[in-house]
Structure 1
């Protein structure tokens, strides 16, 4: 199945129309989610034998790129579900079936969310401010605050992690809870500049318990080579890049359509004939042309189990930064050639301008990404 089959034009147009209303009302994309479920979209990483679509990361990224051309906030939130199902798929492809139940449950209609982000935790997956307390039966209770929990109104499974400091060496504990599990609160605090339909509210964990059967990893604090870490980074960074690539693609299309339509009073010709505007859009198109093959190649290498060794993380964070920064530049160019109408809140370009700014806040941020790449090429800073 191709992304065009999965997301036909008429469906994307419905999503695009609804995106405007979701943004204006700061409302979750319930209708979009129902349609995506009906298409089997949330089960794309599950094998066809399990009732899924049998997609790899390359196909998933292509689908997310296409979805983002219509509804970036919808695509961004769905990413968080696809990260967990993608992680389960990538681990399975590497001989680890420990999260196969995630794929089975996605086929059954469960919605997974990513509850790992914490304010002030610049160690990301390598440390946690959340306290994980071991229980006698092998389960854990978690106490802490998670931010940017996309899919807050709809998730049925939430992946979380915290730090257990009760042993000789602290360990980071990864687990899932269900929506029915007591001990957590979702704040109604998602009132943001853009990506509003994602409803990425703050989640407060107050002793919420994950049973032993849903505790799926215990890892040392700090960087490590566990396949789970690679799988999370590979899915998170690649699918983020796909969303912002789709956003930039849509902005360029709108810019082209607009300058063909706008007429210059001075020349009597459409702005598409203005040399300065042509140069600006050509520059945006050149930037986007470099992004499409990079996204496709990185995702394809993950699927093909290519061994890039220590260069894998630089490739992943480099892709994320390239996509988010390129999309921001392209949206800016499209707005500059489209005139003052794009400044109004009802303008699709105006919404894309606000949505694209979220890209700078997703991990890895600029500083972290450049540090990762510098260490790979130059070695660590000498002390």
Structure 2
């Protein structure tokens, strides 16, 4: 399956198309429900296993892995809540097992508050549902999602402003209310088709409104679930890219021959030093992911350090992956500069990691606060 995905990845990158065949195979294999419990039709896996699987998938088809990641985030959040005694997202687990595709509608242009604020208006409806009006960006799985998990700000309720988390179904009834722009033409990760989604009074029914929270930092398990699963699975994707780049560099070193010495580049001290550096950087990533994913699975208590630990592992994975791909290009030589070379695609795909939360500034701020305390007024 992975080899088929790898063969198609170059086509989707070139043609700027969504990997429908990949998704169909993943759905048939039960991959969309790997984090749903067995009793609901899922595989019953934890985040440790899902992280390892996403690393493997990303090594074959980064865009497919990143797109599916956004669906797995919601199923992972459902697992985090269920493990802590809440069935508020049971419908997500059941839907994933039935083949539903959940998209992640959190990102908004210029919203550096991310989970703690929103420029999308959430208007309460008489039946308890909400109508959302606003624009979401980077909505992966745009051509195929069936449910959009999102947030918005309710400024009209008697109990003060409230962040509303809910799920908007895609249907013919909502066709004029959920408009997906065909605007995804990017440097890399082209297969994700993470298009802009415009909401015009898009309705989330009462049974799909899962939280109303005060704006700003919040200890609610839903917020922790979104942040922890997003950061861990995102870091897994870029760790998978790093591993693939390392493997390609090793292969290139074994097949390239020096005209100067007549030996394979794998015998060149400088090349050996470069690949060793890549491996030293890569080897640190999977254990970190496995450790933190395990701690989320077992509900370990890292207290206030959780956010710095999670932001840190995402930041390290993304920056390490970019550095490893850079070095792999140097090992492989000029051939990697051609579009047909897989490293050329990885070089573009890995750049997307810089734009996902937590960005470098946010990660450094979280870690500085964890170690030095908050900035004094």
TM-score between both structures, scaled by the size of structure 1: 0.96
The whole-number CA distance in structure 2 between the counterparts of 1:266 and 1:155 is 55
Shift of 1:167: 2.8
2:364 equivalent among 358, 370, 376:
370
Q: Partners in 2 of 1:193 and 1:255 — Cα distance?
A: 22
Cα distance between partner residues in 1 of 2:309 and 2:35: 22
| 2:255 corresponds to 1:264 | no
Equivalent of residue 345 in structure 2, options 346, 351, 364: 351
Distance in 1 between the 2:22 and 2:157 partners? Answer: 46
What residue is the counterpart of 2:269 in the other structure? 275
- Alignment partner for residue 190 of structure 1, among 159, 184, 190? 184
Instruction: Return the offset for 1:179.
Output: 1.1
Query: Aligned partners of 2:129 and 2:292: how far apart in 1?
Result: 37
Q: Is 1:177 the equivalent of 2:183?
A: no
**Superposed displacement of residue 305, structure 1:** 1.1
Q: How does 1:61-80 map to 2 (within 5 A)?
A: 61-80=51-70
Structure 1: how far apart are the matches of 2:156 and 2:37? 39
Give the match for residue 219 of structure 1.
213
Stretches of structure 1 that go unaligned for 5 or more consecutive residues are 1-10
Q: What is the distance in 2 between the residues matched to 1:161 and 1:305?
A: 25
What SS does the aligned partner of 1:197 have? helix
Q: Partners in 2 of 1:207 and 1:46 — Cα distance?
A: 31
CA-CA distance at 1:48 after TM superposition? 1.1
Q: Distance in 2 between matches of 1:15 and 1:210?
A: 34
Among 37, 42, 49, the alignment partner of 2:27 is 37
Candidates 133, 149, 157, aligned match of 2:139: 149
Instruction: Establish whether residue 203 from structure 1 lines up as the match of residue 190 from structure 2.
Output: no
Deviations 1:107-128 (A, max 9, x none): 0110000011000000000000
In 2, Cα distance between equivalents of 1:249 and 1:17: 18
Task: Indicate the SS of the match to 2:284.
Answer: helix
Counterparts of 1:47 and 1:160, CA distance in 2: 23
Distance 2:279 2:251 in 1: 14
Query: TM-score, normalising length from structure 2?
Result: 0.98
Show CA shifts across 1:83-125 (max 9, x none).
0011001100000111111101110110000011000000000
State the SS of the aligned residue for 2:151: strand
Structure 1 residue 297 corresponds to structure 2 residue 291: yes
Q: Deviations over 1:311-369 (max 9, x none)?
A: 11111000000100000000000001111010011110000000000000000000011
Q: Is the 8 A contact 2:17 2:191 kept in 1?
A: yes
1:342 paired residue number: 336
Between the two proteins, the alignment pairs up a number of residues equal to 373
Counterpart of 1:5 in structure 2 is none
Alignment match of 2:230 (pick from 225, 236, 244)? 236
Report the 3-state secondary structure (helix = DSSP H, G, I; strand = E; otherwise coil) of the residue aligned with 1:69.
Answer: helix
Structure 2 SS opposite 1:132: strand
SS at 1:252's partner residue?
helix
Matched with 1:58 is 48
Tell me by how many angstroms 1:139 deviates. Answer: 1.1
Q: Where does structure 1 differ by over 2 angstroms across 4 or more consecutive aligned residues?
A: none
The equivalent of 2:120 in structure 1 is: 130
